[in-house]
Amino acid sequence: MNAGSMSAADAPIVRVRALVRRFTLRGVLNGVDLDIRRGEFVALLGRSGSGKSTLLRALADLDHEAQGSGTIVTPERLSVVFQDARLLPWMRVLDNVVLGLKGPGARARARGLRALGEVELAERARSWPYELSGGEQQRVALARSLVRDPELLLADEPFGALDALTRLRMHALLGRLSAVHKPAVLLVTHDVDEAVALADRVVVLADGRLAADIAVPKGRDGRVGVVDAGALRRRLLALLGVTEFHESIPASMNEEKLTIEQ
Amino acid sequence: MNAPVAPRLELTATIAFEAVPIDCAKEAVPPAGPRKARRLGRGDKVAFGWLLGPFLLLLAWTTGSAAGLIDARILPSPWATLATAVGLIGDGRLQANLAVSALRAGEGFAWGVLAGSMLGLVAGLSQLGDYAIDGLVQIKRSIPTLALIPLLVLWFGIGETMKVTVIAISVFIPMYIQLHTALRGVDVRRLELAETLGLSRWRFIRHVVLPGTVPGFMTGLRFGVMGAWLALVVVEQLNATSGIGYMINLARTYAQSDVILVGLVVYALLGLTSDAAVRWLEARVLVWRRTLAG
């Protein structure tokens, strides 16, 4: 989260070189190079179909079927948060959180409870997943990832299925937790505001390559200044092929324009 | 998120319930105000509404018998049938035959569940097991179990072994099919989750695969129970010397239609009771599943 962590032992813990992935005929990744330092929060932006998820799945070693080449180095302790929470419905919340932990049950459960406390769901430890809301389920999934004390957290549009208000609360939570645990994070998203608010660095994937790699300027309080955020937002949107006429023109005129086009 | 939803069995009672147009008159009242929307639903539900159909049938039967419209040799009156039942219970014949039938069905059911589960697990969990077992079961599946009876009589004679075997095979097939399907239908997203969590193969099977097959297993049990009673009815027609089916057969010889009726009612009660038992078990085992029924 903070720029200060990029000092001494900062050899990248994620190292991707010349990564190529193909599915049947269409090339999805076409020579991607990416380094992520220890504790660094990187947001990966791209239009739908740009290969964001393909890159994340390659890092998570989940792309058994894909053909391709290139080098990938990732740390041993790695967690994935998916867009859907993927809780096992037949396990209570706490059992879901500790599912991947090895070692004695009592200690694992204590760790699991602590992780649930961090996502403010300690009192739901005995609930069944279906009793939770979508946002709560995703918080449990976050606890399941963090309880493993990961060096790298891979998140594939983890807030994509949540409503706008819940998403904002989840942003704050993820920001807080990554500041405490300091895993390296690769957050795949198509939400420019989410990327700017959370990440130290934003990379944009286009045509199978990284089209941009932009550090997010953050003030002493760890927040992005309004002016910086606005400029960065426009730049990123432009990279994603969105021109921002609708922000400078009142909504009514926007509609008028649409009518004329029809 | 959820495991593949197994087809649910609907009791005929439920169907009868939904078909009864209770409280239609209320819907026919014209709307009071101009803003009131016309209701197009099927009408409100009433507790125990499904009993209306059976009640009407019973009413027709009773009045028909009382008015002398129904020949007692074709269909004895309700009170005569009831008296026969009381008599059969009084001399102990009903209980004794019921015990024999229940034991027969229970034994076959137990073997069928055991074999179906074991082979279903082997075929569902290993590809080699699948190749070795599944083709055979699919071939067997295309032959109705009851068609095997002549062969089984040649092999095992007409005694209990043949009867229990027929019942066991009838239970085995649905158990195997449901369990095998559930095991092969493991959600790929759960597989990915298990891989990213670094689960061992054993922990993956124990915590992810097997619990997901429980709904399929329960569906198999319900089909299996039905299969067991069906097979029981058929094998008890074959030279049995005891059991409900024997009682019915004997009654046919002496043209005692009241005894036949009592036997059929007992079969119905056995089927309903065992289905209710499996449902009860299902509700206990699947507490984690949110169902529309609540």
Confidence of residue B18 (pLDDT cuts 50, 70, 90): very low
User: Which tens digit of pLDDT belongs to each residue from A89-118?
Assistant: 999 999 999 998 987 788 999 999 999 999
> Mean pLDDT over residues B2-16, rounded?
45
Average per-residue pLDDT in chain A? 84
In a domain, B38, yes or no: no
Identify the pLDDT of residue B32: 58
**Amino acid at the residue B114:** L
Contacts B189 to A, Cβ<8 Å: 82, 84, 86
Identify the pLDDT of residue B16: 42
User: Which tens digit of pLDDT belongs to each residue from A234-258?
Assistant: 888 888 888 755 554 444 444 444 4
Identify the pLDDT of residue B12: 42
| Whole-number Å distance between alpha carbons of A5 and A38 | 8
Two tokens, residue A3:
């720029």
Task: Say yes or no: A138 contacts chain B, CB-CB below 8 A.
Answer: no
Q: Which residue has the higher pLDDT, B58 or B27?
A: B58
> Mean pLDDT over residues B195-219, rounded?
93
Neighbouring CB atoms inside 10 A of A180's CB total: 11
Segments forming the whole domain that contains residue B170: 84-285
Q: In this model, does residue A3 exceed pLDDT 70? A: no
Class of domain A3-77+151-261: alpha beta
Identify the pLDDT of residue B1: 42
In a domain, B206, yes or no: yes
Identify the pLDDT of residue B213: 94
| Whole-number Å distance between alpha carbons of B22 and B32 | 22
- Give Cβ neighbours of residue B72 (< 8 Å, ≥ 6 apart): B65, B80
> Mean pLDDT over residues B112-132, rounded?
95
Q: Which residue has the higher pLDDT, B171 or A219?
A: B171
The dihedral sign for the CA sequence A57, A61, A67, A72: positive
Count how many Cα atoms sit within 13 Å of the Cα of residue A192 in the half-sphere of its side chain. 18
CA distance B199 to chain A (A): 6
**Amino acid at the residue B204:** F
Q: In this model, does residue B227 exceed pLDDT 50? A: yes
**Closest residue of chain A to B198, computed from CA coordinates:** A100
Task: Say yes or no: A84 contacts chain B, CB-CB below 8 A.
Answer: yes
Select from B197, B199, B217 the residue whose CB has the most chain A CBs within 10 Å, as the one to mutate to test that interface: B197
Q: Which residue has the higher pLDDT, A218 or A93?
A: A93
As a whole-number percent, the residues of chain B with pLDDT over 90 amount to 72
In a domain, B28, yes or no: no
**Closest residue of chain B to A149, computed from CA coordinates:** B197
Enumerate the β-bridge partners of residue A212: A204
**Closest residue of chain A to B197, computed from CA coordinates:** A100
Q: In this model, does residue B241 exceed pLDDT 70? A: yes
Is-contact B3 B182, C-beta < 8 A? Answer: yes
- Candidate ranges A70-79, B37-46, B219-228; pick with highest mean pLDDT: B219-228
User: Among A218, A213, A241, which Cα is nearest to A229's?
Assistant: A218
Domain positions in chain A are: 3-77+151-261, 84-149
Is-contact B259 B97, C-beta < 8 A? Answer: no
CA distance B273 to chain A (A): 28
Cross-chain residue pair B1–A60, CB shorter than 8 Å? no
User: Among A151, A161, A228, which Cα is nearest to A185's?
Assistant: A151
Contacts B290 to A, Cβ<8 Å: 130
pTM: 0.76
Out of A113-122, A204-213, B108-117, B161-170, least confident range: A204-213
Two tokens, residue B14:
């439920």
Q: In this model, does residue B6 exceed pLDDT 80? A: no
Cross-chain residue pair A90–B211, CB shorter than 8 Å? yes
State the first-to-last Cα distance of chain B, in angstroms, to the nearest integer.
18
Interface of A with B in 25-64 (CB under 8 A): 60-62
Contacts B211 to A, Cβ<8 Å: 88, 90-91
| Whole-number Å distance between alpha carbons of B107 and B109 | 5
> Mean pLDDT over residues A155-160, rounded?
91
Two tokens, residue B160:
């209990």
Identify the pLDDT of residue B133: 95
CA distance A252 to chain B (A): 33
Report the residue from A79, A84, A99 with minimal CB separation from B1: A84
Q: What is the 3-class SS of chain B, one letter each residue?
A: CCCCCCCCCCCHHHHHHHHCCCCHHHHHCCCCCCCCCCCCCCCCCCCCHHHHHHHHHHHHHHHHHHCCCCCCCCCCCHHHHHHHHHHHHHCCHHHHHHHHHHHHHHHHHHHHHHHHHHHHHHHHHCHHHHHHHHHHHHHHHCCCHHHHHHHHHHHHCCCHHHHHHHHHHHHHHHHHHHHHHHHHCCCHHHHHHHHHCCCCHHHHHHHHHHHHHHHHHHHHHHHHHHHHHHHHHHHCCCCCCCCHHHHHHHHHHCCCHHHHHHHHHHHHHHHHHHHHHHHHHHHHHCCCCCCCCC
Report the residue from A60, A89, A91 with minimal CB separation from B2: A89
CATH of the domain at B263: 1.10.3720.10
Cross-chain residue pair B196–A79, CB shorter than 8 Å? yes
User: Among B211, B207, B132, B116, which Cα is nearest to B167's?
Assistant: B116
| Whole-number Å distance between alpha carbons of B3 and A253 | 49
Q: In this model, does residue B20 exceed pLDDT 70? A: no
Report the residue from B197, B214, B287 with minimal CB separation from A99: B197
Contacts B188 to A, Cβ<8 Å: none
> Mean pLDDT over residues A193-209, rounded?
90
Is-contact A112 A98, C-beta < 8 A? Answer: yes
Identify the pLDDT of residue A259: 39
Confidence of residue A220 (pLDDT cuts 50, 70, 90): low
As a whole-number percent, the residues of chain B with pLDDT over 70 amount to 87
Task: Say yes or no: A77 contacts chain B, CB-CB below 8 A.
Answer: no
Contacts A79 to B, Cβ<8 Å: 196
Helices (H), chain A: 52-59, 93-97, 105-118, 134-146, 164-181, 192-198, 226-239, 245-248, 251-261
Q: Which residue has the higher pLDDT, A139 or B3?
A: A139
Query: How far is Cα of residue A236 from the mean position of the Cα atoms in its chain?
Result: 17
Q: Look at chain B and report how many structural domains it folds into.
A: 1
User: Which tens digit of pLDDT belongs to each residue from A20-79?
Assistant: 887 765 668 888 999 999 999 999 998 887 888 889 999 999 888 778 888 888 998 999
Cross-chain residue pair B196–A128, CB shorter than 8 Å? no
Identify the pLDDT of residue A78: 93
> Mean pLDDT over residues B178-201, rounded?
93
- Give Cβ neighbours of residue A26 (< 8 Å, ≥ 6 apart): none
Cross-chain residue pair A61–B195, CB shorter than 8 Å? yes
Task: Say yes or no: A88 contacts chain B, CB-CB below 8 A.
Answer: yes
| Whole-number Å distance between alpha carbons of B235 and B232 | 5
Geometric angle at alpha carbon A194, from A190 and A196, rounded to 5°: 105
Cross-chain residue pair B189–A99, CB shorter than 8 Å? no
As a whole-number percent, the residues of chain A with pLDDT over 90 amount to 44
User: Among A63, A54, A68, which Cα is nearest to A19's?
Assistant: A68
Select from A61, A65, A90 the residue whose CB has the most chain B CBs within 10 Å, as the one to mutate to test that interface: A90
